[in-house]
Structure 1
Amino acid sequence: MNILLESRAFYPSVGGLEMMSRGLATAWQDGGHTVRVVTITPLDRDAELDALTVERQPTSAGMRRHVRWADVFVQSGISLRSLHWPVWTGTPLVIIHHNLLSGGQDTGVRAWLKRRATHLGVNVAVSGPVAETVPGPVVRIPNTFRPVYDQPDAADESRDGLLFVGRLVSVKGADLAIEALRRLRERGVDTTLTICGDGPERGTLERQVRDADLQDAVTFEGWTDPDELADRYRRAEFLLVPSRYETFGIVALEALASGCPVVAAETGGLLEAVGACGLLVPPDDAEALADVTERALRSDVRNDLQSAMPAHVNRHRINRIATDYLHLLRRVVRVN
């Protein structure tokens, strides 16, 4: 098949959508298909990807040429700016939804148009909560994780301390992780918390640490490159994902692929990302987070959770996910 993948955010930008788009495009091409990627993300000073054909900031003429060439047009993240092309050319359309198709920044006419646009083709939702917001025909295919985190032997590593990974904004709940640690230390639980990530709330979180006299127990690492983060996952006893909401929660998968169990908020797509490999707590509840984390630190609990990881991680490996997409793309092309 000739597959045209539009991913408005793409390498060298870093994020879950960018990771999924690059992983899918590469896997499809490795499977013998011809893939082109179009994106508005500039290359800046980074080197272009040798393994993929990428056109950045294409002109209207370029988009028309690409869509006519394609057997199927895949949008990784819905974009109204290019949806008219497959309508005009009759090219089959698949839209991947990484986020809820309600709320957020899109309101009024723009939100209405996006909902209507889901009837133009077949939609893929990365989680159940996302699927519930898509009016058009929708199937569910979960997210994958970067291969650097695929460390099946890491479950046997010696582990110490808790880990938080994510952007330092309120919805990610780093403040809840710090408060849970404070309560654990009050109970005599001698553990630490490493925070990997950065964002506008870092100063507030650092003050929270000082006010709680936790400077010796909390370390802020800032943004962490994938290789170093893979090592962090290998060495942590648990990853804390106390998000107030997540449409999926790729960091949970990253940790599980590295043998690190998860304590996560029972919200959004985190239930699907964690599966039977972690423990869930009510969102926005630091006391419950402390209670469950204290139980999770027991070796027998951790061993039980780790035993469920191989099957769960295998379901989310890129080759499995890319194959699921290819089955869908073939059906869409045949129908049209």
Structure 2
Amino acid sequence: MLLATEFAKAGAEVTVVTETGGGHDYPFAVVRQPSVSKLLELGRQSDVIFQNNISLKTLLPLFLLFKPIFVTHHTWLTRSGGKTGWQDLLKRTVLRFCYNVTPSRALAEHLPVHAEVIGNPFEMESFLLLREMPKDRDIVFMGRLVSDKGCDLAIEALAQLKQMGLEPSFTVIGNGPDREKLEALALKLSVAQQVTFAGYLATQRAVEVARHKVLVVPSRWAEPFGLVALEGIAAGCAIVATSDGGLGEAVGDCGILVPNGDSNLLALALQSVLYDTEEREAMVARGPAHLRIHRPEYVAERYLEMFRTVTDVGLHKSALPGRSAC
């Protein structure tokens, strides 16, 4: 809904189509779980059809309208585990008849068609307001506690730092099925005293992140992008992250990258960033400039420019479908 709000602020008439429920008030029309006939009616009324993550269920009927269709991709076109299913093959085919956008060059290169790269927008103000908070803690991880996110690698790196005589604090924000395993691992490696499992934070997440000097993103899998890195940068953290996929583009020059799955190099990177104050502060200082292209108003204008180029109209009416719809 963030882009829809910015489109509306810019003067576009926006209708969001979504399969989700809910009853929030927005400065634009929201149509929930429409029938195919209703979907086609809305499409006919629009200058532009925009799908935020591809959904064949709603995309295929709208091809009947011969309207410009834009699709933004936020993840790889594969099944879980990296295999390519028939759905992915069909998506790759229909994308040839769409205008495609990705938040990272890595994702753009993954697609079988040309895609414009436009940064992911996010609401950064709550984080930016806290940039100057005293950094009274060392390392923070933020994410779902599952194997792919690599929190166990960060705990292993913590144990290696302890062997070097370094005992930084480590905060884990998030929940997931691996929490008990991670707590047991911290005990086994004798770093439990350094680790705080904060759980899911609904309201104080930005405050907690901003207390830390370094945010670690130790993902095992190739992240398509990395919004959590942007949040850390906005909060005044330096970033240590893995290099595969689009995560490096989210980090930019505001941190350092290490190979995926290597806790040894992760430990060395954390040591370097955490204890080289001058270099860490230089990374943090580069944050505001790096975040400029992810400001919602900037991202919305990039999209609107693209829409205008294709339609050559004033865009009095545009359809911005939700993530689970077209």
- TM-score (norm: length of structure 1): 0.88
Q: CA deviation at 1:50?
A: 3.2
What is aligned with 2:250?
A: 273
Does 2:84 correspond to 1:96?
A: no
Matched, 1:32 2:11: yes
Tell me the equivalent position of 1:262. Answer: 239
Please list every run of 5 or more consecutive structure 1 residues that lacks an aligned counterpart in the other structure.
1-21
Shift, 1:57, TM fit: 1.0
1:148 CA displacement: 4.2
Q: Tell whether the 8 Å contact from 1:152 to 1:259 is kept in structure 2 after alignment.
A: no
Contact 2:18/2:33 (CA < 8 Å) preserved in 1? Answer: yes
Deviations 1:285-312 (A, max 9, x none): 1111111111111211211111211210
Structure 1 residue 150, shift from structure 2 partner: 4.1
Match of 1:222 among 193, 199, 208: 199
Using the TM superposition, give the Cα deviation of residue 120 of structure 1 relative to its aligned residue in structure 2, in angstroms.
1.3
Partner SS for 2:40? helix
Residue from 108, 115, 120 that aligns with 1:138: 115
Partner of 2:150: 173
Aligned pair count reads 310
Paired AA for residue 63 in structure 1? L
Q: Which one of 185, 209, 214 corresponds to residue 208 of structure 1?
A: 185
Identity of aligned residues (%): 37
Residue 63 (str. 1) matches residue 39 (str. 2): yes
Q: Is the 8 A contact 2:78 2:85 kept in 1?
A: no
SS across alignment from 1:237: strand
* Distance across 2 between alignment mates of 1:39 and 1:29: 17
Deviations 1:253-305 (A, max 9, x none): 01101111101111111110000000111111111111111111121121111
Partner of 2:283: 305
Partner of 2:230 in structure 1?
253
Q: Does 1:321 align with 2:310?
A: no
Shift of 1:136: 2.4
Q: Structure 1's 315 and 101: CA in aligned 2 closer, same or farther, altered over 3 A?
A: same
Residue 74 of structure 2 aligns with an amino acid whose one-letter code is H
Output aligned runs, 1:117-156, within 5 Å.
117-151=94-128, 154-155=131-132
Kindly indicate whether structure 1 or structure 2 has the higher relative contact order, using CA contacts under 8 Å at least 6 residues apart: 2
What is the TM-score of this pair, normalised by structure 2? 0.90
RMSD, aligned CA: 1.7
> What SS does the aligned partner of 2:131 have?
helix
Q: Which string of whole-angstrom CA distances, capped at 9 and with x for unpartnered residues, describes residues 34-71 of structure 1?
A: 1111111122xxx4233332111111121111111111
Q: Deviations over 1:8-42 (max 9, x none)?
A: xxxxxxxxxxxxxx111111011111111111112
2:134 pairs with one of 157, 167, 182: 157
Residue 331 of structure 1 aligns to which amino acid in structure 2?
T
List structure 1 segments (4+ residues) > 6 angstroms apart after TM superposition. none
| Counterparts in 2 of 1:309 and 1:189: CA distance versus 1, 3 Å | same
* 1:78 positional shift: 0.5
- Structure 2 gaps of 5+ residues are 314-326
